[in-house]
Structure 1
């Protein structure tokens, strides 16, 4: 559906995207994820026609759009600040693109009413000024304005970043439902890993204009292809060489003692000493707890490391500060990457299995 073929974008002497290649399937909810300045918004704006390419091509539905003006690319875009017209009411905002296309008033009214119903905007809200709406309602107006033009592709540039945390969580669900309802190919840009993991069919993780990994949310999280992806997505413990050596000595022969090793914090288990478990136990002391509502994070100290583990109500107990416990690690859950002297980080060893 969407193909970036060796796309390069330069701003004077700075290269924002170097030889960027990517393919998005039809109907996918595809997310570009990465830190600020990684090139994700540049890629989106290049697709929208707001940024000129220095090299390469972009195709949509088999059609080369590299040099087409933005208005002829059949893409709809929702900006971070929604870019709604404050001097127009909701109905006029949604109808703006249709009037530019010189559709008849009857057809414009029909399509505005149809799209408003589908994004859950009432007739009363259509006659309100934009400033009278909540942030979530304004977002729906921006989406309606993009979808009323019936684009082939919907582009979303951090559309939830200006909302409070509770509303963001609610609108993630609504956005995904809308995308599924319309079946429209969607490219979503965010730096929020929770958004990316909960909404996407596939994710591309970017760093400094380059794609570190493309995969399903589960691939990205559980089989992180590079050390950057591993540390950027989710929370991890970095294990010392001494602790990895202890695990190897205890039977985790598939681990590379010289590799950089990580354990996601929910993969570290805490049990009472002597309790039966699946994995390798290491003696530890509880330093402290932090409360997160649905779970606690237990801060632990071993002979060589300070690690974190997630405790939930299902664990059935909460050790006290200063208590001696066993920290249990399943070697199959560990993520390993070649050390600084071992060359490229493009190969991941998960429990000794090369991927």
Structure 2
């Protein structure tokens, strides 16, 4: 019998850590090892993640190198800036998968501008569907999971840019549920503030995910790429709907655009181009490791318009982590992951 893969999850009391555990419970090759937290250490996991019934009696341990040592894989679901020190204390025999932002950006100047502090470096980027990242991730020992907005924004426009159908002048408007901001208590995320309300934030190119989207798209385009990104907060718990548009190249039709996307994603298990005329909706991907897409052409404005949806906690974070775990360990990439959403 093949031995189990022991996986520890640091930051297990948060939304991302909880979603990682939910998915790992369904993984046929995984044995869940240590579950750790910061301020919640010492609490039973079930008090904070009551939906994880098989793990409810587990006591959250402190996030220390000693606790995380000895596992095959460590998944870090920690606040930005905390992953580097933890990873440095783990040997190369451990696969470390970081769900935070610490190792996503390759440009130290971009890190300093959008996050501040010292740049920790860049790890292999965990978006298998982008360029040749899948080959990079196979057998990788350190992996940076993409941000949720960059995942859906990148996959929604990359085929058009790669095929030369558009100018490299991209506009992204993406509406997200409140879980994308994490579990920490914040006044603007209270139910009385969010219900019945939609709002824009980080307007004018200031959102931290902007340089990550640019970095991704530069992998499929030879030259500079401009991205204007406006995020919206809408009253739902999870999910992102991104509308991405750009000026069309001469002569490009809606059929050309659809054909380019169909070709780009024909063999991708977790990216689904909907039939012509059917538009993505967030409830279709809730709990699933999938991105649903549609694309068309605005003939009057001469712009390509593509819409993508993702569950920010699944394919946008935890599902990507498990997908990368599978690739790093030489497993079937789809193991333990579902394409079936929960609706309504």
Structure with a larger share of its residues in strand: 1
Q: What's the TM-score once normalised by structure 1's chain length?
A: 0.25
> Looking at both structures, which has the greater relative contact order when contacts are Cα pairs under 8 Å and sequence separation is at least 6?
2
